[in-house]
């Protein structure tokens, strides 16, 4: 999917069309300056042949660019994002677990304190 989007964006930039158009017009200018050396039929076939050849070269360049397009960096970015999400999820779970344990410990310590206070009150009442 990424390679298709990349190649489609590359084609849509129009760089290959400009390359072919420049080659075509350069050929026309060449034949115009050298009109006494070539017949009109040779000029026509020459322009067509050069245009088709340039189109082939542009397709060849596109295939080389797409073949050399590396997905390793995109894969590493995706893995990093996935791992970051996983780590943050685990940290959130750990934090909530710690909060629960802290609340339970506070409740237990509060109960123990109230029991101690009640026991001290009972001892004071018993001694008085």
Q: What is the CA radius of gyration of the chain?
A: 40
Same domain, 27 and 85: no
pLDDT above 90 as % of the chain: 25
Tell me, yes or no, whether 24 and 39 share the same domain.
yes
Give the range of the structural domain holding residue 82, as residue numbers without chain letter.
Answer: 72-128
Cα–Cα dist 62/17, whole Å: 12
Q: Give the Cα separation of 26 and 37 in Å (integer).
A: 17
Q: Please tell me the pTM assigned to this model.
A: 0.51
Same domain, 34 and 2: yes
Summarised one tens digit per residue, pLDDT across range 76-108 is: 777 788 888 888 888 888 888 877 877 877 777
17 and 61 housed in the same domain: yes
Answer yes or no: do 37 and 85 share one domain.
no
Query: Does 55 lie in the same domain as 44?
Result: yes
Residues 57 and 97 in one domain: no
What's the confidence (pLDDT) of residue 46?
Answer: 92
Domains identified in the chain, total number: 2
């Amino acid at each position: 999917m990424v390679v298709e989007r990349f190649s489609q964006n590359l084609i849509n930039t129009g760089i290959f069309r400009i390359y072919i158009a420049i080659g075509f017009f350069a050929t026309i200018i060449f034949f115009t300056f050298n009109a006494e050396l070539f017949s009109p039929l040779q000029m026509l076939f020459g322009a067509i042949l050069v245009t088709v050849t340039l189109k082939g070269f542009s397709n060849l360049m596109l295939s080389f660019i797409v073949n050399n397009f590396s997905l390793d960096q995109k894969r590493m970015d995706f893995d990093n994002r996935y791992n970051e999400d996983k780590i943050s999820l685990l940290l959130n779970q750990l934090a909530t677990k710690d909060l629960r344990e802290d609340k339970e410990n506070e409740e237990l310590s509060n109960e123990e304190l109230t029991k101690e206070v009640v026991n001290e009150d009972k001892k004071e009442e018993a001694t008085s």
